[in-house]
């Protein structure tokens, strides 16, 4: 936000007397310089993990994280065109949790598109979620950009339908990390078929932005920073000139470029994940990790969490991270290098040193 | 919408990542025997428990400059009605505060914020409750030309008084080596800042207990309070105690639910209006001190950061017994009220609505009333021997409370 306003101030300084001495309402200054209808902003809030304790009690810190992100998103100027909620609204997929999340999100003054997370899904396979938020996968067009929402956290039918005596246990097994009883996420054949036909109608020059919960790339299987059929999805997206995939789930900042596809992750409002110890074993799949996430300070519940607003400039994604207790960061598509890049910390020597705690 | 492309230009990163937070372990009952350098045998080292005072390279301390600063600090003529000196709100006799909820400037005008003590302000990484100035030099210049404080429109009347005074021309000549014609407000600010850098004070019962190992320096209640302070009370995370010194502040900004709680419905309108006014050249110092609601935006008013809405600087707790009423708006009368606010998790009245922007560090503490009393007792162990209330008259806390109650 300071970025937004500082830039507007700089902008106004740059245009000089026209803006500075004028009494024009602010909004008119924006409009006067508007030119491309492919430039707009939207906000992205993800991974709230609202957790029901019992009765009317929910875990306070997860509530506060989402409440704060919603309140701050409502203050964005200019107002974002829409908000994406990136999945894992609930912790264990219960109606109480999803209802609670719906109530908190109802304070948003902008339309919300929802992405399915595994914590929303594995109790009832998305049945109640669909009643609240609509279909699990669909596409929409906005100001010249084709947006696609996928449910990328499905898995093999055997695991989903045949393995677990209760749906509660199925939910708990999928919620665990490094769980030998878990199963890799995937988009699956049904959605791949739909995606193929959906994309068939789209001009190859149209910017395409895909929202998924899991990365549509393979990073680390044990934590499902992984999508089993990632290569097949990537192949379907390959013919398009400008493709961005934005995903939640990882609770940390990641970005990567595979062929024509830019990948960006978003932060959680609940808690940060560190990088898994065994991450290095999957070197060939590593997204570019220029800055390790600072170790979260357990005193400040919001430390190393955040939310983001996204400028879609000429069909490319600029991800602006609002990070409590940390310097805000921007990961922007570098048109020369043809890949996303952290605006401040590209080089080895520009990395943020980890915080010192005693 | 070309301005979107320019978004990246204004990125400011003002958080430091190398945090020097030194969290205390729970093993605090045993006093730390480490003493701070040069404590003398009689225990009269007024600096016990403090780090060395940071002195800017471009403003070295000299006795003559300090004396000049002292005079300037107390000069009432530097105001539009001839009644307001720095000391009006930072009164030597009231631990360099004024005992009021919010300060009164010229012609009885009131501001929006509680006068912080000048004691140990030399250690602050930011000045003012919202940190809008980085140092004492910058800070000292603003109240002079604020419309609700000294009320001058510009600095010229001050410089004129200095040029025609019987004392100042020779003093500025000897301190800065310049004729009075060449004195600018920056010379004035440097002298005042030098004087303020002498107003440092440690050597409280806590310091003698913790840094000198005098186990009888604090009462049992105060020792229990210290334990709560570093453990269940979670106080020390922001009011920091280090191994060899303690400033009781992290120099950062936090929304703790004071002031902001009363304007929650107005925030969308206020933030927008404030930014628009600021973008049109509005002066932050003037805007936040003349409008109560704008004041409550806190650090946001300075940085435009959404994550700083309602956030104010962590004040030191040294001599806090003497500086009632409390918080940036002086809204809490007693230290017990402060403890209750924190115990409630950021609301003064239990059950009130928590503000959406509350710092992640603030949560209900589940402390008993007896524990809150112990914390209050510990707060009273932070009073420097030099300012021990029994030597001061009238006892500032009582004076402040009396004054408040009669309003």
pLDDT in tens, A53-73: 999 999 999 999 999 999 999
Q: What is the pLDDT of residue A14?
A: 31
Mutation pick from A41, A71, A303, A319 vs chain B, by most beta carbons of B within 10 Å, is A71
**Could you read off the pLDDT of A184-227 as tens digits, one per residue?**
999 999 999 999 999 999 999 999 999 999 999 999 888 999 99
**Cβ–Cβ gap B13/A322 under 8 Å:** no
Its pTM stands at 0.84
Query: How far apart, in whole angstroms, are the C-alpha atoms of residue B144 and residue B375?
Result: 37
In chain A, residues with a C-beta closer than 8 Å to the C-beta of B3 are 7-8, 11, 30, 33
Q: What is the pLDDT of residue A29?
A: 31
- Do the domains at B63-196 and B205-255+314-405 have one common CATH topology? yes
Q: What is the pLDDT of residue A273?
A: 85
* CATH code for the part of the protein at A38-344: 3.60.21.10
For a pLDDT cut of 70, what percent of chain A falls above it? Answer: 80
Q: Looking at the predicted structure, is the pLDDT value of residue B294 above 90?
A: yes
- Contact call for residues B120 and B384 (beta carbons, < 8 A): no
**Cβ–Cβ gap A355/B275 under 8 Å:** no
Q: What is the pLDDT of residue B26?
A: 36
Query: How far apart, in whole angstroms, are the C-alpha atoms of residue B228 and residue B175?
Result: 48
Q: Is A4 an interface residue toward B (CB < 8 Å)?
A: yes
In chain B, residues with a C-beta closer than 8 Å to the C-beta of A75 are 267-268, 271-272, 306, 309
**Cβ–Cβ gap B8/A40 under 8 Å:** no
* CATH code for the part of the protein at B63-196: 1.10.760.10
Kind of pairing between the strands at A208-212 and A57-58: unpaired
In chain B, residues with a C-beta closer than 8 Å to the C-beta of A41 are 4
Query: How far apart, in whole angstroms, are the C-alpha atoms of residue B214 and residue B41?
Result: 13
pLDDT band at A132 (very low <50, low <70, confident <90, very high): very high
Minimum CA–CA partner of B354 in chain A: A64
Q: What is the pLDDT of residue A4?
A: 41
Q: Looking at the predicted structure, is the pLDDT value of residue A353 above 60?
A: no
Residue B243 distance to chain A (closest CA, Å): 11
**Could you read off the pLDDT of A216-261 as tens digits, one per residue?**
999 988 899 999 999 999 999 999 999 999 999 999 999 999 999 9
Select the residue of B17, B354, B361 nearest A299 (Cβ to Cβ). Answer: B361
Q: Is A330 an interface residue toward B (CB < 8 Å)?
A: yes
Q: Looking at the predicted structure, is the pLDDT value of residue A85 above 70?
A: yes
Nearest to B260 by CA among B163, B168, B337, B341: B341
Angle between helices B335-343 and B369-379 (to 10 degrees): 130
Query: How far apart, in whole angstroms, are the C-alpha atoms of residue A299 and residue B254?
Result: 13
**Does the structural domain B205-255+314-405 have CATH classification 1.20.810.10?**
no
pLDDT band at A178 (very low <50, low <70, confident <90, very high): confident
Where are the domains positioned within chain A?
1-34, 38-344
Which element (helix H / strand E) includes A316? strand A316-323
CA distances (Å), origin A113, targets A85, A110, A147, B10, B281: 6, 10, 11, 30, 38
Average pLDDT over residues A67-83: 92
- What distance lies between CA A117 and its chain's CA centroid? 11
**Cβ–Cβ gap B15/A325 under 8 Å:** yes
Residue A122 distance to chain B (closest CA, Å): 30
Where are the domains positioned within chain B?
63-196, 205-255+314-405
In chain B, residues with a C-beta closer than 8 Å to the C-beta of A59 are none
**Could you read off the pLDDT of A261-313 as tens digits, one per residue?**
999 999 999 998 876 554 444 444 544 444 445 567 878 888 889 999 998 88
Q: Is A64 an interface residue toward B (CB < 8 Å)?
A: yes
User: What are the phi and psi torsion angles at A141 (to 5°)?
Assistant: -110, 140
**Cβ–Cβ gap B363/A61 under 8 Å:** yes
Strand order across the beta sheet in which A329-334 lies: A112-114, A83-85, A40-45, A306-313, A316-323, A329-334, A339-342
Average pLDDT over residues A108-124: 97
Residue A272 distance to chain B (closest CA, Å): 14
**Cβ–Cβ gap A328/B13 under 8 Å:** yes
CB atoms within 10 A of CB A101: 27
């Amino acid at each position: 936000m300071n970025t937004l306003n500082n830039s507007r101030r700089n902008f106004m300084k740059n245009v000089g007397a026209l803006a500075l001495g004028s009494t024009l309402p602010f909004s008119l200054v924006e409009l006067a310089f508007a030119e491309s209808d492919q430039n707009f902003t939207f906000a992205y809030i993800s991974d709230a993990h609202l957790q029901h304790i019992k009765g009317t009690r929910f875990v306070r810190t997860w509530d506060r994280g989402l409440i704060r992100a919603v309140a701050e998103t409502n203050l964005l100027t200019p107002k974002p065109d829409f908000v994406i909620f990136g999945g894992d609204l609930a912790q264990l997929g219960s109606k109480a949790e999803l209802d609670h999340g719906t109530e908190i999100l109802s304070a948003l003054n902008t339309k919300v598109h929802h992405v399915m997370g595994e914590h929303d899904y594995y109790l009832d396979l998305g049945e109640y979620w669909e009643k609240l938020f609509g279909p699990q996968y669909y596409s929409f067009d906005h100001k010249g950009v084709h947006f696609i929402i996928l449910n990328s956290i499905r898995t093999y039918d055997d695991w989903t339908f045949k393995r677990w005596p209760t749906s509660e246990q199925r939910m708990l097994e999928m919620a665990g990390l490094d769980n030998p009883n878990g199963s890799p996420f995937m988009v699956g054949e049904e959605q791949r078929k739909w995606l193929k036909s959906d994309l068939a109608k789209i001009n190859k020059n149209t910017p395409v932005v895909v929202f998924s919960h899991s990365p549509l790339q393979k990073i680390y299987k044990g934590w499902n920073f992984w999508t089993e059929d990632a290569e097949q999805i990537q192949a379907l997206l390959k013919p398009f000139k400008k493709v961005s995939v934005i995903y939640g789930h990882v609770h940390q900042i990641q970005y990567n470029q595979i062929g024509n596809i830019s990948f960006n992750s978003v932060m959680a409002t609940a808690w940060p994940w560190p990088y898994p110890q065994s991450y290095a074993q999957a070197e060939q799949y590593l997204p570019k990790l220029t800055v390790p996430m600072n170790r979260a300070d357990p005193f400040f519940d919001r430390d190393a969490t955040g939310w983001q607003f996204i400028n879609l400039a000429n069909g490319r994604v600029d991800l602006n991270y609002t990070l409590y207790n940390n310097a805000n960061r921007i990961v922007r598509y570098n048109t020369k290098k043809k890949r996303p890049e952290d605006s401040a910390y590209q080089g080895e020597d520009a990395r943020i040193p980890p915080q010192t705690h005693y | 919408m070309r301005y979107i492309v320019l978004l990246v230009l204004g990125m400011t990163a003002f958080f430091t990542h190398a945090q020097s937070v030194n969290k205390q372990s729970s093993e605090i009952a045993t006093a730390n025997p480490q003493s701070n350098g040069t404590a003398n045998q009689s225990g009269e080292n007024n600096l016990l428990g403090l780090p060395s005072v940071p002195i800017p390279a471009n403003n070295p301390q000299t006795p003559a400059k300090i004396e000049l600063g002292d005079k300037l600090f107390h000069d009432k003529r530097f105001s539009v009605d001839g009644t307001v000196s720095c000391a009006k709100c930072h009164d030597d006799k009231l631990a360099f505060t004024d005992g009021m909820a919010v300060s009164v400037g010229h012609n009885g005008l009131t501001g929006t914020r509680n006068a912080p003590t000048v004691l140990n302000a030399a250690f602050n990484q930011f000045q003012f409750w919202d940190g809008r100035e980085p140092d004492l030099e910058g800070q000292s210049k603003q109240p002079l030309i604020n419309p609700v404080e000294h009320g001058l429109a510009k600095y010229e009347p001050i410089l004129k008084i200095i040029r025609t005074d019987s004392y100042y021309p020779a003093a500025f000549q000897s301190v800065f080596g310049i004729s009075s014609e060449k004195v600018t407000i920056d010379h004035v600010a440097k002298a005042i800042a030098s004087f303020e850098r002498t107003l440092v004070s440690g050597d409280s019962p806590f310091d003698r207990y913790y840094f000198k190992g005098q186990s009888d320096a604090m009462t049992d209640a105060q020792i229990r309070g210290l334990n709560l302070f570093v453990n269940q009370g979670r106080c020390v995370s922001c009011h920091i105690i280090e191994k060899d010194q303690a400033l009781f502040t992290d120099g950062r900004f936090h929304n703790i639910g004071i002031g902001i709680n009363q304007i929650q419905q107005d925030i969308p309108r206020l933030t927008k209006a404030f930014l628009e006014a600021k973008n049109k050249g509005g002066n932050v110092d003037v805007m936040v001190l003349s409008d109560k609601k704008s004041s409550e935006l806190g650090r946001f008013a300075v940085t435009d950061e959404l994550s700083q809405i309602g956030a104010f600087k962590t004040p030191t707790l040294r001599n806090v017994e003497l500086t009632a009423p409390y918080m940036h708006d002086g809204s809490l009368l007693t230290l017990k009220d402060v403890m209750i606010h924190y115990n409630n998790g950021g609301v003064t009245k239990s059950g009130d609505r928590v503000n959406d922007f509350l710092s992640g560090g603030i949560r209900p503490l589940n402390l008993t009333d007896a524990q809150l009393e112990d914390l209050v007792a510990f707060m009273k162990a932070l009073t420097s021997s030099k300012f021990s209330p029994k030597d001061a008259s009238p006892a500032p806390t009582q004076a402040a409370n009396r004054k408040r109650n009669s309003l």
